[in-house]
């Protein structure tokens, strides 16, 4: 249903236009105004979709009325009705956004056709606005998934690498400035506080919250430029610890990593945050990595930070033999340098704490590693260290033996059944009890592809099946298989099938017709 306002100072002209339009377009609601001033008033009250505006009228003329109405209601469309076919009027009208012209006198068919043409334009704009609103709503709905997925990608180096910039753009955050990572370590039984933490960070508007791994919640923080990093980090840590107090929980700890310029370096900051949270028994329940004791040796000419990074990666990948070799080499280096045995044992314990943090992140619950006694010599230190490491390896193996045998098949089936939805590694991980990082590793090891490749394959297969129905538009199919942007769907489809969806469908429907 459309509303139309006819503006003309001659009643016979208004009545004639009304009769023609009511006959040709019977569903339109029509009102009349005899001059520009009344037209401006009626535009506010009647809220027409389209106005047929005479140019020459007493008082304010048609072009002046168009300008006044458009200033308050820019969505209204105009058709100028005039006996003066001059360039000057046309130029002014175009500048004001007038959609068409009718010259007096005009044939009834021409009047109806012109009005229909502008009404069709209005209909197309309405559809565009409706589609944009649906896309905006859909985007708002998946924003938390996008946020956790981005954090997962940045901190654990897997899935979506090609599209990361696009996803970051969707979140509307300026990532050019400094950033750092934090981790919130929750005590057993406090996992339900995850939502409260996400809401707190969102209200503060200062970071992205990743998926909870074990009892650790990673956060990427974007500090304000006019305040110091330490000041802002302390404020945020205290705000997060206040959530614990409000929920009646104790035993939380916040680790804070160093500041880095690039998102590519944020993984290092996160691992520093994990290191900072190694001892949650400290009286102040947050700590900066730069305030933690430094492992004061180098290995093969590299800073010990590189050894920390290596431990993180190897434990996540289950490379326990290499981890054992690294630890043995570490102890031997201290022994060869004649370092104090007590000091060496403390440094080894810190490395074992790193291993325990990574396991907790992967969902493997273990007791904090502790030496049962002070080693009397380096041989004893090596033996005790390897024993603690072996217990960790056993916990890791037992955890994955309980859940891994059917996990890949479960995951594949889940993705196939839900590929049209906004699913994430976090949701899949909750279903099978595995960390997103480990799921990615399993996919790569057992199937040779990563999660996003398999998800894309499922979506494209569904799209091809739907294309066989000529009644469905490609835009409709885009949304049905789980994409929110037809252009992006077309790009992915062409990459997978080497032709565009339109070309593929022509071939597909052509074959169907010939058979």
Highest mean predicted confidence (pLDDT) among 11-20, 182-191, 197-206, 353-362: 11-20
Tell me: do 122 and 188 sit in the same domain. Answer: no
User: Would you say residue 258 lies in a domain?
Assistant: yes
* pLDDT tens-place string over residues 36-54: 999 999 999 999 999 999 8
Residue 223 sits in a domain of what CATH number? 3.30.70.270
Task: Please tell me the total count of domains within the chain.
Answer: 3
pLDDT of residue 41: 93
User: What SS3 state is found at 424?
Assistant: coil
What integer is the mean pLDDT of 255-265?
86
Tell me: do 288 and 356 sit in the same domain. Answer: yes
What integer is the mean pLDDT of 441-456?
74
Tell me: do 103 and 186 sit in the same domain. Answer: no
Picking from 366, 382, 402, the residue at the C-terminal end of a domain is 402
Higher local confidence (pLDDT), 429 or 380: 380
* pLDDT tens-place string over residues 124-157: 888 888 776 776 666 566 666 677 777 877 776 5
Tell me: do 166 and 210 sit in the same domain. Answer: yes
Is the Cβ–Cβ distance between 237 and 264 less than 8 Å? no
Residue 35's contacts (CB-CB under 8 Å, 6 or more residues apart) are 7, 9, 57, 58, 59, 60
Residue 10's contacts (CB-CB under 8 Å, 6 or more residues apart) are 54
Tell me: do 324 and 452 sit in the same domain. Answer: no
Residue 37 sits in a domain of what CATH number? 3.40.50.2300
Tell me: do 317 and 186 sit in the same domain. Answer: yes
Residue 423 sits in a domain of what CATH number? 1.10.10.60
User: Would you say residue 135 lies in a domain?
Assistant: no
Whole-number CA gyration radius for the chain: 33
User: Would you say residue 455 lies in a domain?
Assistant: yes
pLDDT of residue 208: 86
Tokens 């074990």, residue located: 214
Domain that holds residue 47: 3-129
Beta bridge partners of residue 213, listed in sequence order? 216
Read off the pLDDT band of 167 (50, 70, 90): low
Read off the pLDDT band of 256 (50, 70, 90): very high
Tokens 């329940």, residue located: 285
Tell me: do 314 and 168 sit in the same domain. Answer: yes
User: What SS3 state is found at 12?
Assistant: helix
Tell me: do 389 and 426 sit in the same domain. Answer: no
Picking from 402, 422, 446, the residue at the C-terminal end of a domain is 402
Picking from 382, 402, 422, the residue at the C-terminal end of a domain is 402
User: Would you say residue 137 lies in a domain?
Assistant: no
Cα 8 to Cα 55: distance, rounded to the nearest angstrom: 8
* pLDDT tens-place string over residues 373-424: 778 889 999 998 899 999 889 988 887 776 666 777 888 888 888 888 877 7
Tell me: do 325 and 238 sit in the same domain. Answer: yes
Q: What backbone torsions phi and psi does residue 340 show, to the nearest 5 degrees?
A: -60, 130
Cis amide leading into 105 (omega within 30): yes
User: Would you say residue 304 lies in a domain?
Assistant: yes
User: pTM for this structure?
Assistant: 0.49
Tell me: do 387 and 412 sit in the same domain. Answer: no
Tell me: do 192 and 241 sit in the same domain. Answer: yes
Tell me: do 393 and 433 sit in the same domain. Answer: no
């Amino acid at each position: 249903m459309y509303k139309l306002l006819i503006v003309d100072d001659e009643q016979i002209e208004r009545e004639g236009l009304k009769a023609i339009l009511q006959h040709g377009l019977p569903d339109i609601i029509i009102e009349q105004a005899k001059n520009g001033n009344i037209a401006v008033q009626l535009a506010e009250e009647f809220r027409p979709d389209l106005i047929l505006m005479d140019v020459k009228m007493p008082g304010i003329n048609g072009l002046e009325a168009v300008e006044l109405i458009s200033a308050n209601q820019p969505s209204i469309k105009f058709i100028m009705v005039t006996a003066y076919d001059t360039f000057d009027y046309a130029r002014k009208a175009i500048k004001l956004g007038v959609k068409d012209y009718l010259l007096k006198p005009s044939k009834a068919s021409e009047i109806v056709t012109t009005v229909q043409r502008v009404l069709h334009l209005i209909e197309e704009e309405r559809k565009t606005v409706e589609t944009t609103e649906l896309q905006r709503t859909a985007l708002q709905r998946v924003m938390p998934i996008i946020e956790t997925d981005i954090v997962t990608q940045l901190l654990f180096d897997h899935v979506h690498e090609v599209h990361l910039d696009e996803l970051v753009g969707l979140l509307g955050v300026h990532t050019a400035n400094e950033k750092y990572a934090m981790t919130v370590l929750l005590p057993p039984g406090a996992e339900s506080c995850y939502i409260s933490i996400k809401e707190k960070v969102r209200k503060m508007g200062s970071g992205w919250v990743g998926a909870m791994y074990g009892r650790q919640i990673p956060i990427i923080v974007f500090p304000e430029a006019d305040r110091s990093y330490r000041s802002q980090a302390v404020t945020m840590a205290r705000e997060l610890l206040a959530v614990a107090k409000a929920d009646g929980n104790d035993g939380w700890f916040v680790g804070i990593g160093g500041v880095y310029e690039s998102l590519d370096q944020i993984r290092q900051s996160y691992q520093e945050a994990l290191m900072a949270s190694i001892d949650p028994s400290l009286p102040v329940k947050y700590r900066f990595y730069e305030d933690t004791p430094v492992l004061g040796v180098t290995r093969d000419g590299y800073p010990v930070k590189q050894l920390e990074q290596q431990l993180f990666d190897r434990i996540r990948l289950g490379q326990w033999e290499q981890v054992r070799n690294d630890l043995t080499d570490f102890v031997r280096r201290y022994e060869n340098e004649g370092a104090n045995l007590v000091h060496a044992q403390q440094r080894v314990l810190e490395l074992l704490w790193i291993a325990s943090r990574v396991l907790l992140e992967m969902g493997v619950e273990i007791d904090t590693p502790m030496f049962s006694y002070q080693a009397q010599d380096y041989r004893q230190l090596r033996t005790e260290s390897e024993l603690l490491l072996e217990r960790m390896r056993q916990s890791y193996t037992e955890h994955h033996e309980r859940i891994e045998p059917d996990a890949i098949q479960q995951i594949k089936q889940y993705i196939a059944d839900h590929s049209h939805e906004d699913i994430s590694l976090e949701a899949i991980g909750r279903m099978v009890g595995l960390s997103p990082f480990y799921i990615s590793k399993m996919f790569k090891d057992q199937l040779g592809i990563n999660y996003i490749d398999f998800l894309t394959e499922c979506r494209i297969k569904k799209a091809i099946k739907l294309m066989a129905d000529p009644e469905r538009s490609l835009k409709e199919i885009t949304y049905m298989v789980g994409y929110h942007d037809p252009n992006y769907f077309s790009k992915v489809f062409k990459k997978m099938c080497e032709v565009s969806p339109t070309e593929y469908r022509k071939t597909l429907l052509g074959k169907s017709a010939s058979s």
